[in-house]
Amino acid sequence: MARTRNFWKWNLLAVLTVIICLLALLAHYKNWMKIKPDHMQILSGFYYKEIKYADLDSVLMVEKIPPMIRLNGFSALDKGKGIYKEFKDSLSDKKVNVFVDNFTQNKIKLVYKDSLLLYVNFKDSTQTNSLYQFLEAKMALLKKEE
């Protein structure tokens, strides 16, 4: 009795696995930013953050981020994304969100809700500078309204 070979199930599984891996790579490839009237959303793969402009305390442009321990996330080549913890703050459980597409360029340091930190930049420095100017203008406008 001849056995029929039904490898189509394994082929389908292999193709689906490759498609899922490509989608994960695409999601982590860059920071996806959505600007809304009252808040901004940052998405990079599994990492998502929504920040209301009213919660912003300061917006600074920094050359380097401080040394940190990666709690989860990744660093590869010039990218670093995930949740980190600062070395100097070993007693508290304060987490820092990092969405950096290029470590060699300037980064935007956002302080919001009094003490939460977020570092963000894009592969293109002009896009980073334009976001920085936009956030500074939003903060100035909010301070005027108060």
Write out the H or E segment, with its range, that includes residue 81. strand 79-86
Q: Give phi and psi for 17, each to the nearest 5.
A: -65, -45
Say if pTM beats, i.e. exceeds, 0.75: yes
DSSP 17-36: HHHHHHHHHHHHHS-EEEE-
The residues spanned by each domain of the chain are: 31-145
Q: Are 100 and 119 in contact (CB under 8 A)?
A: yes
pLDDT by 10s per residue, the chain, length 146? 556 667 888 889 999 999 998 887 777 777 888 999 899 999 887 888 999 998 898 999 999 988 888 888 877 788 888 898 887 755 667 889 999 988 899 999 999 988 889 999 998 889 999 999 999 998 888 888 76
For domain 31-145, give the fold.
Answer: PH-domain like (2.30.29)
